[in-house]
Each structure stands twice: as structure tokens, then as C-alpha cells.
Chain A
Amino acid sequence: MKLFGRINLAGLATFCIFLLLWEGFARASPLLQLYFPPVSRILLSLCQLIFSWELVGHIVATLGRFLRGYLLATLLAVTLGIVLGYFKLAYSLSESLIEFLRPMPSVAIIPVAILFLGIGDAMMVAVTVYACAWPILINTIAGVKNIDRTLINTARTFGLGRWKALRKIVLPAASPYIVTGLRVSLAIALILVTTSEMIVGVSGLGFFILDEERSLRTDNMYAGIFLVALLGYGLNRLFLVLEKRAMAWHRRMTAGEQI
């Protein structure tokens, strides 16, 4: 796949018309300008904010929380998922607890996290870990459970130890599922980081966007939203690239996806 495989001219044209309409309406009506500053002004503030380094600190803060939360969640949930997928007793013991906690919207944990961890980074990372862990956990469990028994039995026959079987058989065989969980969690992590930044409000892009809205600097607010979207888009792209590399062996084996 090339990076710019095909350029959708019609789509780009629609997008440009949309931006032009925005610009035109905003310039025409001073009242509308309060809510919809012209696109040109938003871009200008975006450049100013970036070059004045004001936004860079917020971006770094958000990204740092995102990475810590996401990676920690991956580590915990994959480990736990393998245990729960592999040992039937462990799964049946925890099944009801998981089914009870999972449907609760994860953001509801924020107040508890504030109580225990205050309003610092630790709280935001903890909330992100909690929310991200679910999709990864559920998918890892499903992945390990669905491993072909023959694979494991073969490994046993060849005398692989438990640890080696885990590393060489279980983890690779479950990895397509795990990757699915990781991709779902990517979006969730960004949601949780920005939400907790909005609620406790110290730093980060979530805080920045809400703060600019409250001080009615709407051009800055839109600039912040644009940056968060860009961050989400970039992270997603990065994930897809990494996934393609890491899972190339799997595609070769299944030939499911012919790109």
C-alpha cells in the first residue's frame, strides 16, 4: 500500500467547499464569528500557539499521560488475559466480576481516582489504565481461549516448557485478537486522558480546549480540537503501521488480506 495510493479529488473538493463556506459565513456575520471564527483565524492562532510554545507543553503532557496509561494497560491486561484465558478456573471465578464491572461507563471511575490519587498525573494515568484494560483483557481472553488445542498439544509433545510454550505458541496465536483489543483501546485512551484533563483541569490539551472555551477564545479552542484530532489520527496511523509490521507473519500464513 502506498501512502498516497489514490487521491480522492471529489472528497477534497467537498472539504474545501466546507471550509470556504465556514470562512465566508464567519466573515459575513459578526455574531457568528463568536462561535465560528473564520478558518484562517483558527489556523493563524494555531501557528501562533505552536510557535509561542504555549501548546507544546500541553501536547507533551497529554501524550505522556496517554503513553503511560496505554502501555501500562497493555502490560496488565495482556498478562491477566492470558492467565484468565488459559486457566479455566481463574476465568470462571472472575467471569461475573468482569461482567458486572465492564458495562459501567469507565469515566465513572474518575471521581474515585480523584479521591485516592488526587488531581495529578497519577490519577489520569490510572483512569486511562482502567478504561483501556477492558477491551484488551476481553480480547486477550477470547484469543487465548480460541487457540487451536492441537497447537498447544503439539508444543507439549515436543516437550516445550510452560514458559516457552507461552512465549512461542500462546502469545503469537492469540496476537490477532490482542491487536484488535489494542486498537479499540487506542481511541479509548485518548478519550479518558482528555476527559480527566477537562475535569481536574491542570494541563494538557483537554484542559486547554475547555479553558479556551470558558474564556471565549474560540479560535484557540478550535485550534486545540484540531490538534487533538491530529494526535488521534497520527496515533492511529502509527498503530496501523506497527501492526502491519508486527503481524506480517500472520497475514502471510492466512492470506486473508491481499493488499
Chain B
Amino acid sequence: MKWPIESKLNGILVLVAVIPVWEFISRAELVNPLFFPPMSKILQSFFLLVLSGDLPYQILLSLKRAAAGYLLAALVFIPLGVVMGLYPWVYRLLEVVIEMARPIPPPAIVPVAMLFFGLGDEMKIFVIFFSCAWPILLNTYDGVRNIDRLLIDTARTFGLSRRRMITRVVVPAASPQIMTGLRVSLAIMLILVVISEMVGSTDGIGYFILDAQRRFKVDQMYAGMLSLAIVGYALNQLFFLSYHRFLAWHKGLTGVDPA
């Protein structure tokens, strides 16, 4: 039998093999086990933390903040992007302000947010809102601007009202690009919730990881990272699922997978 070179099984085998290799490196003290505890110990504290509800609680806190900022950004910036795409004068009015604010690296906003909102949830929500804004706004704008003129003209010919035109023609036609913006923002959202919790917070998964490191509970730190990897993976998968659901019509229409 030939070795199945392109099988996904290979990768999963490697992933599984990491566990004993890690265990060995740590037990043999090839790397200081103080920094690099055995995988068995990490997994043990991971399960303990999950069962005690500690880790799920911290993750839930973080996800709550993340979701609030993300949804708020989508709620504000998708409509704004649509308006900017439909009315070039709105875009021209806002262009300079946007181009000035966009290059600010999101972490630089954290101190400003702390100044205004303290260390509470609002601060993180604002930071996430701000940093998710640009991909959503600019992708929506791009999507709307690049809609086939024919679509809009046809809708006009059929006498669609402005409102129906936007909800029935413009937004659906731009939705693949809007989704792209939302997908980019999803990764940014997760990064920023962790950053804001590391810099200014007393709870949440970002704080948990950094705090575990500072208290030298290294196994708990790795357990926190493991949970974060799982959450990130799950969020991505969830997004793809809903993506294909929402855009199934698009795929059927064009015969290409928009992803």
C-alpha cells in the first residue's frame, strides 16, 4: 500500500504525537519544566479548571464583551458602509477622517478607552468596536460600490422604492464582501478582547492567562491558552457554517464558492 501522502490523517497523527513529545521534553528536563510543564499536568489542570467552571466563566465573560463590541460595530458600520457606497459625497466627506483614524494600531486605543470608561466592560467593548470598524466599513463600502450597475438600473426600472432597493438589491449583492469584512473582524475581535483584558482588567480569559503567568501557575497558563485555541477554532467554524448558510443562494447563483 502506498503511503497516503495527502491524507488529513497525517496531520492529526502529528497533532496527537505532539502530546507525548511534549511530555518527554518536559520530563527529561530538556527545557526547564518550570516553564514547560508536562502535557499531562497541563491537560489535568485544563480539565479541573473546566469542571470547576472557572475557565468557562472567564471565557464567557470575554465572549460577552467580544460579542457586544463586534455586533455594535456591525450594526453601525455596515449601514454606514452602505450609505458611503451609495452616495459618493458621503464617502468624500468622511474619507480623510477615516484615513486618519485607520492607521492607529488598535492597542493604542486601549489607554484612551481606559481613560473614558475605566476598567469595566465598556472599555473592552469600545476597543473592540473601534478596531472591528475598519474591515467591516471598508469591505461593505467596496462591496456596495462594485455592485453591477445593471442590477440597480433594473431595480429602478421595476420601480422599487429606495428602501426596498437597499434591502432587496444592494445589501444582498454586497453581502459576499460584507461577510469578508465580518470574517476579518472576527479574528481582530478575539485579539483585541485578549489585549484589553491583559492591559486593563481583573477578569476574562486574557487576564486569566497573564495572571496565571505572573503567579507562576504555568500549567494553568497553558490550560488557558488551550481553551483560547479551542474557542478561536470553534468561532471560525461557526462563522463558516453560518457563512455557507447565508450565502448558499450566492453559491447557487454563481456556481462558485465565494469563500
A binds B: yes
Q: Which A residues are within 8 Å of any B CB, using their own CB?
A: 8, 10-12, 14-15, 18, 35, 88-89, 92-97, 99-101, 103-112, 114-116, 187, 190-191, 194-195, 198-199, 205-206, 209-210, 212-214, 218, 221-222, 224-225, 228-230, 232-233, 236
Q: Are the C-beta atoms of B15 and A100 separated by less than 8 Å?
A: yes
Decide yes or no: A209 and B108 within 8 Å by CB, A10-B93, A93-B10, A107-B191 being known contacts: yes
Least Cβ–Cβ distance between B227 and chain A, in angstroms: 10
Which chain B positions have C-beta within 8 A of A96? 8, 11-12, 14-15
| Interface 1/0 per residue, B97-131 and A, CB below 8 Å | 10011011111111110111000000000000000
Cβ of B209 under 8 Å from chain A: yes
Evaluate whether A105 and B115 lie within 8 angstroms (CB atoms) in the complex, with A11-B95, A115-B218 already known.
no
- Residues B109-164 near A (CB distance < 8 A): 109-112, 114-116
Q: Is the CB of A108 within 8 A of B194?
A: yes
Q: Out of A111, A194, A213, name the residue touching B212 (CB < 8 Å).
A: A111
Question: Which residues does chain A contribute within 8 Å of B89, judged by CB atoms?
Answer: 10
Which of A101, A198, A229 makes the CB contact (< 8 A) with B110?
Answer: A198
Q: Does B198 contact A (CB under 8 A)?
A: yes
A116 CA to B32 CA in the complex, in Å? Answer: 9
Main secondary structure, interface of A, reads helix
The residues of B with any CB-CB pair to A shorter than 8 Å are: 3, 5-8, 10-15, 18, 35, 89, 92-97, 100-101, 103-112, 114-116, 187, 190-191, 193-195, 198-199, 206, 209-210, 212-213, 218, 221-222, 224-225, 228-229, 232-233, 235-236
Measured CA separation A92–B14 after assembly (Å): 9
Question: In the complex where A108-B228, A116-B35 touch, is A232 in contact with B103 (Cβ < 8 A)?
Answer: yes
CB B109 to nearest CB in A, in angstroms, measures 8
By secondary structure, the B interface counts as helix
A109 CA to B238 CA, complexed, in Å: 24
B236: chain A residues at CB < 8 Å are: 103
Taking CB atoms, residues of chain A closer than 8 Å to B15 are: 96-97, 100
Q: Considering the chains assembled together, what is the distance between the CA atoms of A88 and B187 in angstroms?
A: 28
A213: chain B residues within 8 A (beta carbon) = 111-112, 114-115
CB distance from B4 to the nearest CB of A (A): 8
A39 to chain B, nearest CB (A): 12
Q: Which 6 residue pairs are nearest across A and B when measured between Cβ atoms?
A: A103-B232, A96-B11, A111-B213, A213-B111, A11-B96, A95-B11
Which single residue of chain A is at the shortest CB-CB distance from B11?
A96
- Whether A14 and B111, one on each chain, are in contact in the complex, defined by CB atoms closer than 8 angstroms, is no
Cα A243 to Cα B58 with chains together (Å): 43
CA distance A94 to B89 in the complex (A): 49
Q: Could you tell me if B111 and A18 are in contact, using CB atoms closer than 8 angstroms?
A: no
20 interchain pairs, CB-CB under 8 A: A10-B89, A11-B94, A11-B96, A14-B93, A92-B8, A94-B14, A95-B10, A95-B11, A97-B11, A104-B229, A107-B198, A111-B213, A111-B225, A115-B221, A194-B108, A210-B111, A225-B108, A228-B108, A232-B104, A232-B105
Q: Does B92 lie within 8 Å of A110, measured CB to CB?
A: no
- Taken together as a complex, chains A and B put the C-alpha atoms of A230 and B6 apart, in Å, by 46
Which of B92, B193, B195 is close to A11, meaning CB atoms less than 8 Å apart? Answer: B92
- Please pick, from A11, A105, A233, the residue contacting B194 in the complex, using a CB distance under 8 A: A105
Looking at the complex, which one of B92, B191, B199 makes contact with A10 (CB distance below 8 Å)?
B92
Nearest CB of A to B221, in Å = 5
State the CA gap A15–B111 with chains docked (Å): 23
C-alpha spacing A8/B97, complex, angstroms: 11
Instruction: Identify which of A14, A108, A191, A224 contacts B106 (C-beta below 8 A).
Output: A191
State the Cβ distance, A104 to closest chain B Cβ, in Å.
Answer: 4
A210 — which chain B residues lie within 8 A by C-beta? 110-111, 199
Q: Are A107 and B194 in contact (CB under 8 A)?
A: yes
Shortest Cβ gap from B238 to chain A (Å): 11
B199 touches A198 (CB 8 A): yes
Q: Could you say which residues of chain A place their CB within 8 Å of the CB of B8?
A: 92, 95-96
Complex Cα gap A94–B13 (Å): 10
Q: How far is the CB of B1 from chain A (nearest CB, A)?
A: 15
Complex Cα gap A15–B94 (Å): 8
A94 contacts B106, C-beta separation under 8 Å: no
> How close is A232's CB to chain B, nearest CB, in angstroms?
4
Across-interface contacts of B97 in A (CB, < 8 A): 11, 14-15, 18
User: Which chain B residues border A11 with CB–CB below 8 Å?
Assistant: 92-97
